A and B are shown apart, each in its own frame.
Chain A
Amino acid sequence: QKEVEQDPGPLSVPEGAIVSLNCTYSNSAFQYFMWYRQYSRKGPELLMYTYSSGNKEDGRFTAQVDKSSKYISLFIRDSQPSDSATYLCAISGGSNYKLTFGKGTLLTVNP
């Protein structure tokens, strides 16, 4: 079983839709959870991070972690064409400097 699983999509939604992006992980030692956004031909940029179960909100973005199910989600409300990008989840156990990345989900928001 891979450490982090992420549906690669692609996912195509109309503007204004609510988007749900998800990852599952296998190692219960993972404690810290991040979402990165990567535009085409650019490096990933950190979008959100959290270290506990529950929700964290930042504008139109909500990160959700369920440690009991080993499941993390990113919700985008009122999606915009500018949200079109690849979204990568990243997880760390905190004991070293390594992040384990999901393979990314390609999202397209159509105007």
Chain B
Amino acid sequence: DVKVTQSSRYLVKRTGEKVFLECVQDMDHENMFWYRQDPGLGLRLIYFSYDVKMKEKGDIPEGYSVSREKKERFSLILESASTNQTSMYLCASSQEWNEQFFGPGTRLTVL
């Protein structure tokens, strides 16, 4: 079975802090994705990567950056966390373009 793991289930940070969210997949997938999920807004794509060191902006990239130095690892970076970035963050990976496998999510609270 595909396993996508995320570094933390719950995270509390202060406004202005730099925040790193890590995601690791164990199935040698080419594609990796970062989403945020908010009540009433659903899943929104922040960034995705289709290869090592390659990245593309999703629908809401402002305030975020990403890094993919190794195929199995995709990091989401909040350069200066703000309260409106309080959310559930979900990482996903896929080999085929349609079947995305999700991690358990990180619930981030920014105070």
Contact = CB atoms under 8 A, between A and B. Distances in A.
Interface string A33-52: 01010000111111001000
B103 A43 contact: yes
Given A43-B105, A98-B48, A103 B98 contact: no
Residue of A45, A46, A49, A94 with most chain B CB atoms under a 10 A cut-off: A46
A98 B45 contact: yes
A71 interface: no
DSSP class of B's interface residues: helix, strand, loop or mixed? strand
Contacts of B43: 44, 88, 101
Interface residues of B, number: 23
A32 interface: yes
Interface residues of A, number: 23
B21 interface: no
Contact of B100 (A8, A46, A104): A46
Interface of B: 4, 31, 33, 40-43, 45, 48, 50, 58, 90, 92, 94, 97-105
14 contacts: A8-B40, A36-B102, A43-B90, A44-B43, A44-B90, A46-B99, A46-B100, A46-B101, A49-B98, A49-B99, A99-B45, A99-B98, A101-B43, A104-B42
